[in-house]
Structure 1
Amino acid sequence: MAEKVRVAVLISGRGSNMQALAEYRREVDTAYELVLVASNVPEARGLVLARRFGIKTWAHSHKGLDRAEFDRLLDEELRRHDVELIALAGYMRLLSPGFIRPWIGRILNIHPSLLPEYKGLDTHRRVLLAGEEYTGCSVHIVTEELDDGPVLARSEVKIRGRDTPETLAERVLEEEHKLYPRALDAFCRTLKSGYEPFTGPGA
């Protein structure tokens, strides 16, 4: 497929969802191309993985910088690589409203719950304490409100009687690795078809 959407992946740790996105591209003629992996943690393991996949990387510690200043540096790097879409994959930083607004409709995230339920952190423990029968993961469009943007895709995971937050997290992560590449690819195909429901970068 010509004219693939240029995607940057933001990570803070091991980058397993980034790896899933990269491996999916090896199997499918995707509508996206991973042109940059960026991190606020210079020692993040996912950066090493990205380089093994031949993806350019950028890292800058957020320590000592306020959120707006760090996000300005990140935004400059994204634009330097002509990024069209951002995929958050274990990025453990809240993006500032000033960063999000110019990219509105062009930032995706994967969250370990069936949104709109259980937004925020510590989702697996909260799901178990609530006695839920199912949990899962969701891919959504990022807005200024935490985990509140439109949901693009969800995948359910049945909770087992002996599940702990750790075992549940492991099984949900497996589903994330399946769901995120498909959802990202589908969203990029929609963009490349000429359907533009959102304003793009720099609007």
Structure 2
Amino acid sequence: MGVFEIAYNNFKSNLRIYTAFFIAMVFSVVVLTNFELLQYGDAIKVLQGENAKFTSAVLISVIVILSVFLFFFIWYATNIFLKNRSKEIGILSFMGLDLYTIGKIYFVESILIGITSCISGIIIGIITSRFFQTIIIKLSGFNIKVVSGVSVKAIISTIIIFMAIFTIMTIKGFITICRSSVINLINTSKKQDKIPKVGLGLYLLSVISLLILSYGYYKSLNIR
């Protein structure tokens, strides 16, 4: 039985175990898809007619911030996923599989989850895009009729952003497995997460962040 076949069988048999991780990934894709469809949709073209430079800058900024958030969110989710699978990985190693082979199984299995999440999220994002755009337009104070439509550019951009981040995190997990020992993998699932200590640096970063946010809100009051 090859690596891909083992990974595919694990993927089918462990769908219930993946539920929380899968839902988190689908939600990420849905949010990203809605913003990408808004950026390339017809409704935003009317807003760009009012102030093209400002509207484009705001949307690009939102997507960049969202991509950064997704990076850390997927990073955290994949770490939790790997931790929950570490005991199973250790048992596979005791059964005679080397860590490199187990790492390849994990990589293929995770990519299958990523592809499935991406497809499901895009479909749900397309279905909910009209509702999402209606809310955004209403909050913006414009009376614009929202027309349903699907942009190929938006879909491609969503796939590239999500799968790039997800693949990077999956490679990180593959390297972690290959560099770990069997005992560490088994003990990892038993370790409890420690509450991080809050130091002076974190307090300073919080104050600086609040000042930047306050300045941003102040400047936004002068925008028509």
Structure with higher Rg: it is 2
Q: TM-score, normalised by structure 2?
A: 0.25
Q: TM-score, normalised by structure 1?
A: 0.27
**Higher strand fraction (1 or 2):** 1
**Higher helix fraction (1 or 2):** 2
Bigger RCO (CA 8 Å, 6+ sep): 2
